[in-house]
A and B are shown apart, each in its own frame.
Chain A
Amino acid sequence: MKNQPQRDLFPGALEMMILQTLKRQPLHGYALAQHIKTISDDLLQVEEGSLYPALQRMLKAGLVEANWGTSTTKRRVRIYKLTPDGAKHLKDEISSFERLLEGIRRVLSPARI
């Protein structure tokens, strides 16, 4: 009955994708969802709705900021923008993610056995 938030590959991945997307340009929620969907080529099953709690978490942590603006379709929307803190956080996350990936790759690589 209870709606479990759809978890992606690992905790924090959704946040990382959002931050990475916002690094290029500020976006509103729908555009953000579309962008992530397109980039990941629908490989990652993400419920669009789960963007919003994630965005609220990042707002609270000061990683992004939001301002009301108008979309291309003339709707009033909230546009999210990366903060300097968010950019730094993204860098840290990516480097630690790469270390993790490297570790996994080495363990899985047959040459190392």
Chain B
Amino acid sequence: MASIRSWFGRRRFESALAEEIRAHLEQKVDDLVESGFSRAEAEARARREFGNVTSTQERSREVWQWRPLEDLLQDGRHTLRLMRRNPGFTAVAVLTLSLGIGANTALFSLLDSLLLRNLAVSHPEQLVRVGAHVPDDSSAGLSLPMLQQIDASQRVFSAMFAWWGDAVLNVEANGALSRSDVWAVTGNYYSELGATPEIGRLIAPQDAPLDSAAPARIAVLGYAFWESHYGGARDVIGKIVRIEGVPFTIVGVARNGFTGITPDLAAEVTVPITAEPLLFGESDVQKHLRRPDSLWLEAAGRLKPGITLERARAQLESIWPPIRESLAPQGKTPLELHQFRSLQLEIESGKKGGTLLRSLFLKPLYVLLAIAGVVLLVACVNLASLMLARAASRSYEMGVRVALGASRARLTRQMLTESLTFSMAGALGGLAFASWGSRALSSFLIRELFIVPVKLNLSSDWRILAFTAGTAILTAILFGWAPSWRASPADANRAIEQNTRTVARKTPQLGTALIVAQIALSLILLVCGGLFLRTLEKLHAVNPGFHAHGLLLLSLSPKPGGYKNIAWISYYRELNERISNLPGVTSAALIHGGPGQPIEWTEKVRIRGTASDGMRVDLAMMMPGTLRTLGIRLVRGRDFTWHDDDHSPRVAIVSEDLAAQLFPKADAIGQRLDITTEPEWQDVRVAGIVSSASLYDIRKPKTPTIYLTATQYGHYMGDPFLLIKTSVSPAALAGPLRRTVESLGREYVDRIKTIEQAIDRTVLQERLSALLSAFFAGLALLLAAIGLYGLMAYSVTRRSREIGIRMALGARQSSVQWMVLRETLLLALLGLGIGLPCAIACAHLIASMLYGVSSNDPLTLLFVSLLLLGVSALAGFLPARRAMRLDPIAALHYE
């Protein structure tokens, strides 16, 4: 307390002590004079006997102070004064650091929310996912009888719960029909996750009794769904929502931000798990639920206190074989039984939940974080060289301070305080930049990937703050060490003398090394950015074998009961005709699998009658007119017609390369094929051969493809996509298209996108990598240019006397300019020489993420090197011009 008071009363304390000491000395002098000394003698003696006044004051003050804090405050004040005095330098330094730290923090927060953050439920660390799967098959699930038997025999969980999730179904709410994310959950799902309702109540155990034949038809709405469909009205309780035409009564709304067992997907409508069969019109609910081999559930358990994941795994694996045996289904083929008996339990921690984003973007994010780290390194080196230049110009100040008794450690601490202050300011700016950046990035990714709105939790948690603070401190040490090392001259005299030396040395060596390092690092980033951009360019230039431009894709969904008593072929034929006749529509067709689908449909095809395993090819299921609409050329044979129905012989169309590979010598037309082992896909005749195309993944050109017509397979007809070739803008067509589809009374248009958008979405990872790495490379290049400019400008200032002498001795302006420019270019070339091998080595690491370019693509390397040289020349040009225009007289008179 006393010491705090003394800080506030600091000035008063100083003056009081000074007054006291002065009085002491004056009295002593008076006394001595009285006893016969001369005044001068008396004063000298008084001071001698008193001792060092400054030291006395300092030691008196120290009694009240905590020294390190006092020093820190002093250094801080000093730094702030310096920052105010050089606003330009401060702005550049803080902005540089903000961008560098911000980019790292933004990427780290994305990684954090995808990878490190636990689910926002109570005690996520206790959650364990349990599922059965055939080894090597990634998707694991449980049937309801499996869940019940495991739950009955397990000793490690306090409870088990299950859900059936992430199905997009037709939901009619508040009079509007939409495709929504519907989940079905066990009665204890919400309570086990520790969820509470926003209004009303959540699904409870009594709502989903597993043995009852009459499930409760109730629904809980997600918060966002409630907001968007009911405007957040509180009287929504008791209203009816129809899922696939089946009415459910709304009993409550989940809280905002509740995403259940996934980190990023909030269920829009949740129903009891026992109601799931209702959605598919299955009348005998119990029969559906009891199927022992239908692994439709995802399940999790909550560990009892003190039980580890390993113990849980051991116990569950010990009870699994008898459960599996007791559930082995009747009346199955030996192959199917063998498959069932090979089911293994997969037991893993469920604390982080599962997410599609994680699996898709983890690798690009890691690479980008590494790139951002290098950008920060470049920023550090840049600042180090700027601070170094400043430190050199402050060597006089430092020398004086050493002469006055400041210790070397004290000066180093002062310099580190300076760099720390800068990096902390940068970290603050960086946090703001990161919070914007990570949000923008995630909304970009999510907008492109998900049908339903998804929100990642990107709020700052301790990990992000720790990451940012750690980065800032590391940064400060990185760019603070060099100047502080330089700024602590062992010999104060030399430092003071040095400043008055008339002809300065050449550009300082340490500064040169830093600039070269910076150029080399920038080159690495430029090469990576360049390769990613070239990849994207190559992907955009790919000819997929069909005309993507002007193609629209509409997903059609049935109205409730829309497919009842439907005559598929005549209905779609009429729809196709009506759409084709709309103004602006060049051509239209209906497809099932094909362009714009995220999942590649592949099957095995072999020549009928051969025992070979067959060859894996892409498969597209379509209706007549598709090939024309896609612009795929018919080479020989015929296209599908509406007369190809399930009474006529089954026909297929194959791509040229498929025909060439299967029938290298014979004519493919008329040949018979077997596709997989499906009975209805046997003995299919090749009716036509078309030009090759890559329908699904444009990264894979010339994929052997087989086309089938849905008109021959009734159960493939529903939920199609409408493919439209148009010459007008999609926006102008949307209204007429929707009206035409609905006019037939069976389906409605769910979503419209262009095929180009859909293709763009398939190269999302490449777009993300290219966008961000190009941005970072640009940033690094800018920093390198600033650094180079700063160094050369500083060098010209230092050498102005030398330059003045040269000019006075007759050096021409152009030769002075060239002297500076040559030095700049030499530095750039040195950086290039060191950077190129490093860049090639680094590019090798990202080779698997590239398309169409090799990691040591000479064109990219050449272009990037020239760019770097050009920018370096530009950065050197300004100081060179200043050197050229130096007035020799003024330069020599300076100082």
A residues with CB within 8 A of B: 1, 3, 5-6, 28-30, 33-34, 47-50, 52-53, 55-57, 60, 71, 73, 75-78
Which of chain A's residues have a CB closer than 8 A to the CB of B16? 78
- The reply to whether B63 and A60 contact each other, CB–CB distance below 8 Å, is yes
CB distance from B51 to the nearest CB of A (A): 4
- The reply to whether B49 and A71 contact each other, CB–CB distance below 8 Å, is no
Q: Is the interface of B mostly helix, strand, loop or mixed?
A: helix
Interface-lining segment among B52-60, B309-317, B637-645, B803-811: B52-60
CA distance A55 to B59 in the complex (A): 11
- The reply to whether A56 and B51 contact each other, CB–CB distance below 8 Å, is no
The 4 closest A-B pairs by CB, nearest first: A49-B51, A47-B51, A49-B56, A53-B59
B residues with CB within 8 A of A: 2, 16-17, 19-21, 23-24, 26-28, 30-31, 49-53, 55-57, 59-60, 62-64, 405
- The reply to whether B23 and A52 contact each other, CB–CB distance below 8 Å, is no
Contacts A3-B55, A6-B51, A60-B64 given; does A52 touch B17 at CB 8 Å: yes
Which of chain A's residues have a CB closer than 8 A to the CB of B59? 5, 52-53
Q: Compute the total of residue contacts between A and B using a CB distance below 8 Å.
A: 68
Which of chain B's residues have a CB closer than 8 A to the CB of A49? 21, 50-53, 55-56
Which of chain B's residues have a CB closer than 8 A to the CB of A30? 23-24, 27-28
CB distance from B844 to the nearest CB of A (A): 58
CB distance from A47 to the nearest CB of B (A): 4
Q: Which residue of A lies closest to B62 (CB)?
A: A53
CB distance from A71 to the nearest CB of B (A): 7
- The reply to whether B49 and A47 contact each other, CB–CB distance below 8 Å, is yes
Contacts A3-B51, A60-B2, A73-B30 given; does A53 touch B23 at CB 8 Å: no
In this complex, which of B24, B27, B56 has the most chain A Cβ atoms within 10 angstroms of its Cβ? B24
Q: Which residue of A lies closest to B19 (CB)?
A: A76
- The reply to whether B21 and A52 contact each other, CB–CB distance below 8 Å, is yes
CA distance A34 to B34 in the complex (A): 15
CA distance A28 to B57 in the complex (A): 17
Cβ 8 A contact of A71, one of B27, B52, B405: B27
Which of chain A's residues have a CB closer than 8 A to the CB of B51? 3, 6, 47-50
Which of chain B's residues have a CB closer than 8 A to the CB of A76? 19, 23
Q: Which residue of A lies closest to B17 (CB)?
A: A52
Which of chain B's residues have a CB closer than 8 A to the CB of A57? 63
CB distance from A48 to the nearest CB of B (A): 5
Which of chain A's residues have a CB closer than 8 A to the CB of B53? 49
Contacts A49-B55, A78-B16 given; does A29 touch B60 at CB 8 Å: no
Which of chain B's residues have a CB closer than 8 A to the CB of A6? 51
Q: Which residue of B lies closest to A31 (CB)?
A: B27
Between A and B, 21 residue pairs with Cβ closer than 8 Å are: A5-B59, A6-B51, A28-B20, A30-B27, A48-B24, A48-B51, A49-B51, A49-B52, A50-B51, A52-B17, A52-B56, A52-B57, A55-B60, A56-B64, A60-B2, A60-B63, A71-B23, A71-B27, A73-B30, A75-B26, A76-B23
- The reply to whether A52 and B60 contact each other, CB–CB distance below 8 Å, is yes
Q: Which residue of B lies closest to A53 (CB)?
A: B59
CB distance from A50 to the nearest CB of B (A): 7
Which of chain A's residues have a CB closer than 8 A to the CB of B57? 52
Which of chain B's residues have a CB closer than 8 A to the CB of A1? 405
CA distance A67 to B49 in the complex (A): 25
CA distance A5 to B20 in the complex (A): 19
Contacts A3-B52, A47-B50, A48-B24 given; does A53 touch B19 at CB 8 Å: no
- The reply to whether A29 and B63 contact each other, CB–CB distance below 8 Å, is no
CA distance A90 to B64 in the complex (A): 22
Q: A6-B51, A52-B56, A53-B60 are in contact. List 17 more A-B contacts (CB 8 A).
A: A3-B51, A29-B20, A29-B24, A30-B27, A33-B24, A47-B50, A47-B51, A48-B51, A49-B55, A50-B51, A52-B60, A53-B56, A60-B64, A71-B23, A73-B27, A75-B23, A77-B23
CA distance A76 to B20 in the complex (A): 8
CA distance A77 to B50 in the complex (A): 17
CB distance from B42 to the nearest CB of A (A): 14
CB distance from A54 to the nearest CB of B (A): 9
- The reply to whether B27 and A52 contact each other, CB–CB distance below 8 Å, is no
CA distance A28 to B24 in the complex (A): 9
- The reply to whether A56 and B60 contact each other, CB–CB distance below 8 Å, is yes
- The reply to whether B27 and A75 contact each other, CB–CB distance below 8 Å, is yes
CA distance A108 to B695 in the complex (A): 107
Which of chain A's residues have a CB closer than 8 A to the CB of B17? 52
- The reply to whether A78 and B50 contact each other, CB–CB distance below 8 Å, is no
- The reply to whether B2 and A77 contact each other, CB–CB distance below 8 Å, is no
Which of chain B's residues have a CB closer than 8 A to the CB of A28? 20, 23
CA distance A75 to B30 in the complex (A): 12
Q: Which residue of B lies closest to A58 (CB)?
A: B63
Q: Which residue of A lies closest to B56 (CB)?
A: A49
Contacts A6-B51, A48-B50 given; does A56 touch B23 at CB 8 Å: no
CA distance A52 to B17 in the complex (A): 9
Which of chain A's residues have a CB closer than 8 A to the CB of B23? 28-30, 71, 75-77
- The reply to whether A53 and B63 contact each other, CB–CB distance below 8 Å, is yes
CA distance A55 to B20 in the complex (A): 12
CA distance A71 to B25 in the complex (A): 13
Q: Which residue of A lies closest to B27 (CB)?
A: A30
CA distance A29 to B26 in the complex (A): 12
Which of chain A's residues have a CB closer than 8 A to the CB of B63? 53, 56-57, 60
Which of chain A's residues have a CB closer than 8 A to the CB of B405? 1
